[in-house]
A and B are shown apart, each in its own frame.
Chain A
């Protein structure tokens, strides 16, 4: 093994951590995951209203599209 290949030498199974980069990646990943879950389970139009305006709330596109999944995966639905 060359020294340049591994930034931190750990046991073979260990997690290689670059604190700043991995912190940012983890934060971004968690945000993306939460937005996806919000769309499937919680959204009542807020997600699309910046793009579509008021119709996003009245037609509730995201909610209606995810409707069956929301019921089946035990989220509260209208």
Chain B
């Protein structure tokens, strides 16, 4: 048996660990690029007459900030993931934990990151006007909302069609239709108002690394949460005395 708290713990643990992996990866591979972009930004500000604004934190502190941000993001996403997982698990407790973890993380990755990214891809430092930040934040949040709604709809619709015994092509085409509708509404959102002035290679290298760190974050969460779920499932069904004790203690201890 499982309690909500143990699911939340698994989510925070798997997400935090995925954040360490993703943050470590971007510290090693993405920071050189970020540093380059920051230097270009400062050089351009100086060339245009103004002096570069004094930075609150040094670059090395911001490097550490990247790691902290990745771990925090991972743990937070892991907790939200666990809440959704708990809802699914309550509705249908017999699903295999590994498969469900991978499916749910795939859905989260698509809805929370991939769909919004297609509309508003990541930009390196130096792109982005402080004056338009509110517009950009609102548009970005709207894009995440559309992505999450689309994925949830697709998930429910595919389950509903499967229950009614519809064939795989019908289910998959229905999911594709929802994704296309989501893309259409994403592109109905206003364009990013800022001009991308950084060199195109820098911008695209940055976007690829951004995709890789998000992939590591969600992938790590899926693998970690799935493995923890398997481990608990095995302990719960093990005929050994220890396994029985654990499943008896579970609900009353936590």
Contacts and interface: CB of A to CB of B under 8 A. Distances in A.
Contact of A74 (B116, B128, B233): B116
B73 A14 contact: no
B121 interface: yes
Contacts of A13: 1-2, 93-94, 233, 236
Interface residues of B, number: 69
B69 A66 contact: yes
Interface in A1-57: 1-2, 4-7, 10-17, 22, 25-26, 29-30, 32-34, 36-37, 39-42, 44
A67 B123 CA distance: 12
A23 B212 CA distance: 35
Interface in A60-74: 60-61, 64-74
A73 B8 contact: no
Nearest to A75: B140
B93 A33 contact: no
Contacts of B159: none
Given A30-B79, A74-B210, A14 B120 contact: no
A67 B68 CA distance: 11
Contacts of B73: 36-37, 40-41, 69, 73
Interface in B197-254: 206, 209-210, 213-214, 217, 233, 236-237, 244, 247-252
B99 interface: no
A5 B76 contact: no
A69 B64 CA distance: 10
Interface of B: 1-5, 7-8, 23, 26, 30-31, 34, 55-57, 61-63, 65-66, 68-70, 72-73, 75-77, 79-80, 82-83, 86, 89-90, 93-94, 113, 116-117, 120-125, 128-130, 133, 136-137, 140, 206, 209-210, 213-214, 217, 233, 236-237, 244, 247-252
23 contacts: A10-B1, A10-B93, A12-B236, A13-B2, A14-B93, A15-B93, A16-B2, A25-B5, A33-B77, A33-B79, A64-B55, A67-B65, A68-B30, A68-B62, A68-B66, A72-B206, A72-B209, A72-B210, A73-B69, A73-B213, A74-B117, A78-B128, A78-B133
